[in-house]
């Protein structure tokens, strides 16, 4: 019965640690992305984005804390009932209600993307281009002497000309910062570049992690979408996610080789994220094109997670010894 106290405390402790760590790193990365706009502007942007960042870090912190708890249960198994109840309930409560509380911290808005909202700092051109240095974009190198809110002057483009004329000079240009691109219009030449912050590369993830972070971002976006759609749907999505992650804990007790168990569990978790994205972007997208009522498959990804999680849970209950470590 010690588990009644021990497991929730451990879960909360790990969650708080992870939540602080993930949030702190995200804040630092965000600050690095806007640092080129100046100290005041950077602080304003970070301050405005903190509630949104906390919301984004919550699912990752809850799910990783859940996996840590499952590893602890696998290493020192106690009551099977409590080991099922506490992680599932704890993760569900933290994620479902924590999400709602953190959502309330942000600015009350119902505006869609691209709409200027109160308290949100609009990016200035200096976030993406610095004066008096060679700014490298995906295909061009740009040197700008002065940058104002709307104009740049003069501009030198490298890689801009023909084989024997790499440099192009423009006395002045007009710059506009959009959500998807930065457009610099000069005499007879329009340059469109991706909105990559000047110091973004110093904080960017390596290619091996990009896909993983991209799947996490997708999960966050989907949770956000479902949360805005309806609260019961959001609870269902959270339940599916928690059950699926809990189910993957089955791998932690699968064989006598514990390192292999941990590896399989981590791969299963990664697989769940990929499955969720594949179902949302691939299967649902294709089904929506052929079905008369696209709303019918709207929650298919969450349902798939729930089914996979349920199956894993069933296999765990039926075939995998709960107290494997103690038996050994």
**In angstroms, rounded to a whole number, what is the distance separating the alpha carbons of residues 34 and 301?**
35
Question: Which of 203, 235, 236, 299: binder of another protein (CB under 8 A)?
Answer: 203
For residues 284 and 225, the answer to whether their CB atoms sit within 8 Å is: no
H or E, element range at 288: helix 284-290
Q: How far is the CB of 97 from another protein (least distance, A)?
A: 28
Question: Which of 120, 158, 287, 303: binder of another protein (CB under 8 A)?
Answer: 158
Q: For another protein, how many residues bind (rule: CB under 8 A)?
A: 53
Taking residue 98's Cβ as centre, other Cβ atoms within 10 Å add up to 18
With binding defined as CB under 8 A, does residue 258 bind another protein?
Answer: yes
With binding defined as CB under 8 A, does residue 225 bind another protein?
Answer: no
Per DSSP, 188 falls in state: T
With binding defined as CB under 8 A, does residue 40 bind another protein?
Answer: no
Judged by CB under 8 A, the stretch of 3-11, 82-90, 104-112, 196-204 that binds another protein is 196-204
Q: How far is the CB of 208 from another protein (least distance, A)?
A: 5
With binding defined as CB under 8 A, does residue 328 bind another protein?
Answer: yes
With binding defined as CB under 8 A, does residue 1 bind another protein?
Answer: no
Beta pairing class for 168-170 and 141-147: unpaired
User: Cα–chain-centroid distance for residue 14?
Assistant: 20
With binding defined as CB under 8 A, does residue 187 bind another protein?
Answer: no
**In angstroms, rounded to a whole number, what is the distance separating the alpha carbons of residues 165 and 196?**
27
For the chain, the C-alpha Rg in angstroms (whole number) is 24
**In angstroms, rounded to a whole number, what is the distance separating the alpha carbons of residues 48 and 46?**
5
**In angstroms, rounded to a whole number, what is the distance separating the alpha carbons of residues 147 and 154?**
9
Question: Which of 167, 291, 314, 317: binder of another protein (CB under 8 A)?
Answer: 167
Q: How far is the CB of 187 from another protein (least distance, A)?
A: 12
Q: How far is the CB of 218 from another protein (least distance, A)?
A: 17
Judged by CB under 8 A, the chain residues 115 through 134 that form the site for another protein are 130, 132-134
**In angstroms, rounded to a whole number, what is the distance separating the alpha carbons of residues 220 and 73?**
28
Q: How far is the CB of 52 from another protein (least distance, A)?
A: 18
Signed CA dihedral, 36, 39, 40, 43: sign only: positive
Q: How far is the CB of 325 from another protein (least distance, A)?
A: 8
Q: How far is the CB of 204 from another protein (least distance, A)?
A: 9
Nearest partner of 237 among 63, 27, 12, 28, judged by Cα: 63
Q: Which residues of the chain form contacts with another protein (CB under 8 A)?
A: 21, 25, 28-29, 31-32, 35, 130, 132-134, 136-141, 143, 145, 154, 156, 158-159, 164-167, 169, 171, 198-199, 201-203, 205-206, 208-209, 212, 255-264, 266-267, 270, 328
């Amino acid at each position: 019965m010690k588990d009644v106290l021990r497991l929730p405390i451990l879960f909360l402790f790990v969650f708080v640690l992870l939540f602080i760590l993930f949030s702190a790193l995200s804040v630092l990365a965000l600050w690095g992305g806007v640092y080129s706009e100046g100290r005041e502007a950077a602080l304003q942007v970070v301050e405005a984005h903190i509630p949104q960042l906390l919301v984004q870090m919550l699912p990752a912190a809850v799910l990783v804390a859940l996996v840590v708890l499952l590893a602890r249960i696998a290493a020192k198994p106690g009551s099977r009932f409590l080991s099922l109840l506490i992680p599932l309930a704890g993760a569900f409560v933290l994620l479902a209600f924590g999400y709602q509380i953190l959502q309330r911290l942000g600015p009350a808005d119902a505006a869609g993307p691209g709409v200027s909202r109160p308290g949100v700092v609009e990016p200035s051109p200096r976030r993406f281009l610095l004066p008096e240095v060679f700014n490298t974009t995906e295909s061009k190198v740009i040197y700008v002497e002065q940058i104002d809110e709307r104009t740049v002057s003069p501009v030198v483009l490298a890689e801009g000309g023909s084989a024997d004329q790499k440099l192009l000079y423009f006395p002045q240009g007009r710059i506009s910062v959009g959500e998807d691109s930065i457009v610099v219009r000069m005499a007879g030449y329009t340059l469109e570049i991706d909105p990559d912050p000047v110091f973004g590369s110093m904080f960017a993830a390596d290619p091996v992690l990009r896909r993983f972070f991209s799947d996490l971002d997708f999960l966050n976006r989907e949770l956000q979408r479902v949360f805005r759609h309806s609260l019961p749907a959001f609870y269902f999505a959270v339940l599916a996610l928690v059950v699926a992650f809990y189910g993957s804990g089955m791998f932690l007790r699968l064989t006598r080789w514990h390192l292999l168990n941990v590896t399989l569990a981590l791969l299963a978790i990664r697989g769940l994220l990929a499955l969720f994205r594949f179902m949302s972007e691939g299967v649902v997208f294709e089904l929506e094109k052929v079905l008369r009522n696209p709303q019918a498959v709207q929650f298919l990804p969450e349902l798939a997670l729930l089914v996979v999680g349920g199956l894993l849970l069933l296999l765990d209950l039926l075939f995998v010894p709960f107290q494997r470590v103690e038996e050994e």
